[in-house]
Chain A
Amino acid sequence: MIICIIGFIDVQVQDILRERFCRQQLPDRLEGVEAQHKHLLELLKRTAVHGESNSVLIVGPRGAGKTMLLKCVLRDLLEEKEAQKNLLQVHLNGLLQTDDRIALKEITRQLHLENVVGDKVFGSFAENLAFLLEALKKGDRSSSRPVLFVLDEFDLFAHHKNQTLLYNLFDVSQSAQAPVAVVGITCRLDVLELLEKRVKSRFSHRQIHLLSNPTFPQYLERVRTQLSLPDRFPDQEFCQDWNDGVETLCEDKSVQDVLQKHFNSSKDFHLLSSFILSPASLFPLIYPFFSTSSSISSSSSSPGVTPLLLLPADLLEASRLCFTDSKANMLHGLSILELCLIIAMKHLNDVYEGEPFNLQMVHNEFKKFLQRKSNSMYNFEQPVIMKAFEHLQQLELIRPVDSTAAKTQREYQLMRLMLDHSQIMEALQKYPQCPTDVKQWAMSAFG
């Protein structure tokens, strides 16, 4: 009975949290960026309601909440009858509309003008766009309806040929043909440098910066709000002690250290959510899966009335997963032969101050090692060594110096090692049943 209730509750909790972390569900009110929010809202309102043209750029690092901001603004904007009735929206994305032809098609589609355009042929891009806006005019009302252009990944549009689209949009926004608002979203602070002069001159240099660098308390606060359940959650007392649990969690020293670490590495909220989401931390709590799976679930599968406490251990685990060097992970899986080759390369790097090397040299180095002191390793044939070498290249742990691979024999192609000393050493320490003489060889100053 109680079990199934808990199960039921779990599912709800999950849904809420997943909504937050996966879909970036809009919060009721944004923290920290109220000013920008107000500014943008004003701007758009003027277009939507009073039919002024505007152009603005929202600039900020990835995960700073640019899209979030815009969405919130739009949400709030559309609460107004006026705006809702008039405003037309066109959403373009630099990733999708890779050139202006496609972009224009998309615009036409989003303005539902395909049938109007039919199969007319236009001399220039400008004509086409003008026609579209004209067509809007021929709506029910005499004055044309305001159009909001949202250009996500704005910087990519700057790479289009002659920046025709940008030029025309900004041009329209300058001249009072039809009320348009152009909102560009980009993560490049130098985006203006990308614009051609004629384009730049037509752009109202209005920029909204989301250089969010919250203080750590804010960051912590953010985490708390992200985790805690809303008040409208059906089961009140459950919600209560969940939130308490979150509270205690955020108090916890070790947790704070972890978060601090993340905070220092990046303030990206996507990253944060992905970290909190990352399997070790959250979900085993909500429902531990195969009970075979390690400490995570054992910690979490602690039965009780409130199984839903986030344990610090899990967050630690999560951060450990986040911060493990993936290269080290890969190194762990290599065969001993490949590892030996890497060590040989390391020695070559030490000797020749990071000069590139080829397979022959590496093999030579390896042979030297075998002659000097090895009881555990075989002396392999050249082809076998070659295969191991190829594998390393495939894993991109080594990379050819010049890409003209076709011309030269593989044995003699110059390579560089993509690992540094510490990584190799660390890998060696962790390596399962690594022969001691190999270890010593790696340690030894000069191969």
Chain B
Amino acid sequence: MSTSSVSKGCFVFKPSAKKKKTLSLEDHFSHGCESAESSEKRFKLCQDLWDKIKSDTEVLQDDLNRKILDSLLDFTRKCSSTRQLSDWASQMRASEIPTAALVLGVNVPDHDMTFQSLSELLQQSVTPHVASVQAKECGALKHLMKRVLERLMGTDVTVDDEEEEEAEQTSTPLHKSVHCSLSTLCDWYKTKTKKSNTPGKKRSSPSRDDPQQPPVVIIFKDLEAFNPKVLQDFILICSRYIERLPLMFIFGIATSPSTIQHMLPHSVSSLLCIELFQSLSCTQHLATVIDQLILTHHFPFKLNAKVLQVLMSIFLYHDFSVRNFIKGLQLALLEHFHSQPLSVLCCKKKDALLNVMQLSHSDLERIRNLPSFKRYVEKQEPQEQVNLSKDDTHLKEVCQKLIKGLHKYHKNYYPVLRCLHTLTSSLPRYPLGKQVRELHLICLEKNVWENEDYQTAMKLLRMLAKDELVALLQRCVEILQPVKSKKMKNAFLQLTDLLTKFKQLDTVAAEPPPCVEEPIISPVRNLQKKTDLFQLQKTLLEMNESRRAKKLSPFEVLRNEALEFLDNLVKSHLSPPESHTLNEVCYYTSSATVRRHLNATPRTSIQAALNSPYYYLQNDRLKTVDGSVSNSAPDICIAYKLHLECGRLINLYDWLEAYATVVSAAEGNNPDSDNYGKVEEVKHARFIRAVSELEFLGFIKSTKQKTDHVARLTWGGC
């Protein structure tokens, strides 16, 4: 749809019913995407992949939250049980409402999932009565009441018409106000429990698994956003019913627990019995997500360094939200399958092989034009080159081969990556980064072994003491063990017998004398303390000296051997994806798109539009060589351009005259005619409109100081 308006704003279009009917997701997908013929297949692939990712992430979420959720459940159980026990401490607390302060961190978008699973778990294991409320739906006390009652007693059906009443209401009608008091809740609860109680059981002996009185849990999802007054009143009211109704609260806190003190005065907080729960930090969360989704060969779809970088930076710099990260991933996925026709091959190996067979001629042409494939072709001898460029069937076979190769590459890449990480992550000053994702980025960029950090890392490794080294190798073995690929298998074997050799070393002879060990172990040890790079280099150098000086002990020989082996592993498997043919099939590369979608820059785009209108309205008369704006540009552009030359305060009249000259130049009337650059009504009006538009866009604003001036809100010549 479109509007007559020129200005970029947001317009609401009521979707017409039939349109909504016709357009399915798939139509949206295939609409205007490359090479429609394979679109539905790609759409299917995309869907499947996304579903898999989604389910995986959900599973991940759950077992990440497992720990804290379990502790919360225990807490609730404890409360509900102690309420019936009659030991001294619980009697002393009988009048207080048990409250769990759940600190979740500032990544608010992720909280919903947590609360979702929390309430589900509660309902499964502890109590059927769980209600969770949000701040924005409880502006006033009675709204909060209403929500809580509705959600507990399950009378959601009446919500809508009551909403209307809320809209028009002046004072709550009677029947509703009867509902809206906690006493009704009490009665309801009494009947519930009576029903549930089997006559056989005794009050006095509450069994942990099914408490006689399941607690009534109320979850406040976002405590900070609640209106303190409302919360205080609600708690006050609840505390009046506490002995009749086993209430308990859960506060979802984003920032820090001390907000409770800020919100509640002592008179209220003294009614609560608060216990604190801290969820794990979102960075750890992200680490695991990346580990499961990115650093695995299960998903054929890959991100290249730049895109990953963009997603990471959005996470780290802007919102700590894992959910958004995954959304970003989804976007990339969609974009990839949407824009890249060859993404039909981005799927499980055997499907891919099948798909290769069904490639159309145009697709094959696309393949021939792939840069990576070109590179590959150049490497072949001439005859082969001809075949590849001419013979489609041959090309298909080759493609199958290449696809296989690509899959192998992935299979081997990640285990080796992890090995390298395990080795380097324990080194002082983390030459290759603390997190595995950093290492991954490095490897994606270029050949990691040409990186001098890698060299230093290797040097440091060469100085490891035996026990440390063995431990690390052991971990590497554990990593390699489960991998099912030929290369990795024998790598695993080699490593294992290296390890055995290490073992033998000290079983056979204790003869590497301590005098040799000492200078070797100690430097690494005291390296930990050293901080500046220069120092490090120096020590490394002198160690090399010392090593050259004397003959190597068998341990050192073995160590070098092992490291050589690892180095080879790295060299053979950690080459960046660009070096592999057909990588375009799997790797999504356009970071710009992702950035534009996820991290839009409205102001810069406006300025771009004003600076070079051609960019948006593809009109050749607006083409200009340098940054300057042609005279025939829209008024606002000219006004903008002129205002850039002014100081903080702009004299409107000067501005107008400057504008007038420019415009009349555009009209092409000759400079020395007397009415050249003179202001007549039309120009004046146009100018005024341009200025007001600029003001609307927030580039200028009128000032109190001088009436005929406007203040500029932009800095410098930007």
Q: Contact residues of A with B, CB < 8 Å?
A: 383, 386-387, 390-391, 394, 410
Bound-state CA distance A391–B262 (Å) is: 13
Instruction: Kindly list 11 other residue pairs between chains A and B, CB separation below 8 angstroms, not including A383-B261, A387-B265, A391-B267.
Output: A383-B258, A386-B261, A387-B261, A387-B266, A390-B265, A390-B266, A391-B265, A391-B266, A394-B265, A394-B267, A410-B262
SS of B interface (majority): helix
* 10 smallest beta-carbon distances between A and B, as pairs: A390-B265, A387-B266, A383-B261, A391-B266, A394-B265, A394-B267, A390-B266, A387-B265, A383-B258, A391-B265
Residues of A within 8 A of B265 (CB): 387, 390-391, 394
Bound-state CA distance A391–B269 (Å) is: 12
Task: Jot down 9 A-B pairs with beta carbons below 8 A, ordered by A.
Answer: A387-B261, A387-B265, A387-B266, A390-B266, A391-B265, A391-B266, A391-B267, A394-B265, A410-B262
SS of A interface (majority): helix
Residues of B within 8 A of A387 (CB): 261, 265-266
Residues of B within 8 A of A410 (CB): 262
Residues of B within 8 A of A391 (CB): 265-267
CB B228 to nearest CB in A, in angstroms, measures 8
- From 265 to 295 in chain B, residues with beta carbon under 8 angstroms from any chain A beta carbon are 265-267
CB A105 to nearest CB in B, in angstroms, measures 17
- From 692 to 709 in chain B, residues with beta carbon under 8 angstroms from any chain A beta carbon are none
Residues of B within 8 A of A383 (CB): 258, 261
Q: How large is the interface on B (under 10, 10 to 19, 20 to 34, 35 or more residues)?
A: under 10
Residues of A within 8 A of B266 (CB): 387, 390-391
Bound-state CA distance A394–B261 (Å) is: 15
Q: Looking across the interface, which residue of chain B has its beta carbon closest to that of A390?
A: B265
Bound-state CA distance A390–B266 (Å) is: 8
Q: Looking across the interface, which residue of chain A has its beta carbon closest to that of B228?
A: A406
CB A94 to nearest CB in B, in angstroms, measures 21
Interface string of B521-552 (1 = CB under 8 A from A): 00000000000000000000000000000000
Residues of A within 8 A of B261 (CB): 383, 386-387
Interface string of B237-266 (1 = CB under 8 A from A): 000000000000000000000100110011
Bound-state CA distance A347–B308 (Å) is: 62
Bound-state CA distance A394–B232 (Å) is: 13
Bound-state CA distance A10–B680 (Å) is: 105
Residues of B within 8 A of A386 (CB): 261
CB B190 to nearest CB in A, in angstroms, measures 34
CB B676 to nearest CB in A, in angstroms, measures 56
Bound-state CA distance A390–B269 (Å) is: 12
CB A156 to nearest CB in B, in angstroms, measures 20
Bound-state CA distance A433–B223 (Å) is: 41
CB B77 to nearest CB in A, in angstroms, measures 31
Bound-state CA distance A386–B267 (Å) is: 13
Bound-state CA distance A386–B262 (Å) is: 9
Q: Looking across the interface, which residue of chain B has its beta carbon closest to that of A388?
A: B266
Bound-state CA distance A383–B261 (Å) is: 8
Residues of A within 8 A of B267 (CB): 391, 394
Q: Which residue, of B258, B262, B265, B267, has the highest number of chain A Cβ atoms within 10 A?
A: B265
Q: Looking across the interface, which residue of chain B has its beta carbon closest to that of A410?
A: B262
Q: Looking across the interface, which residue of chain A has its beta carbon closest to that of B265?
A: A390
Q: Looking across the interface, which residue of chain B has its beta carbon closest to that of A409?
A: B262
Bound-state CA distance A185–B131 (Å) is: 54
Bound-state CA distance A410–B261 (Å) is: 11
Bound-state CA distance A410–B264 (Å) is: 12
- From 388 to 403 in chain B, residues with beta carbon under 8 angstroms from any chain A beta carbon are none
Bound-state CA distance A387–B268 (Å) is: 11
Interface string of B140-168 (1 = CB under 8 A from A): 00000000000000000000000000000
Bound-state CA distance A98–B666 (Å) is: 73
Q: Looking across the interface, which residue of chain B has its beta carbon closest to that of A387?
A: B266
Bound-state CA distance A383–B258 (Å) is: 9
Bound-state CA distance A148–B426 (Å) is: 99
Q: Which residue, of A386, A387, A394, A410, has the highest number of chain B Cβ atoms within 10 A?
A: A387
Q: Looking across the interface, which residue of chain A has its beta carbon closest to that of B267?
A: A394
CB A132 to nearest CB in B, in angstroms, measures 28
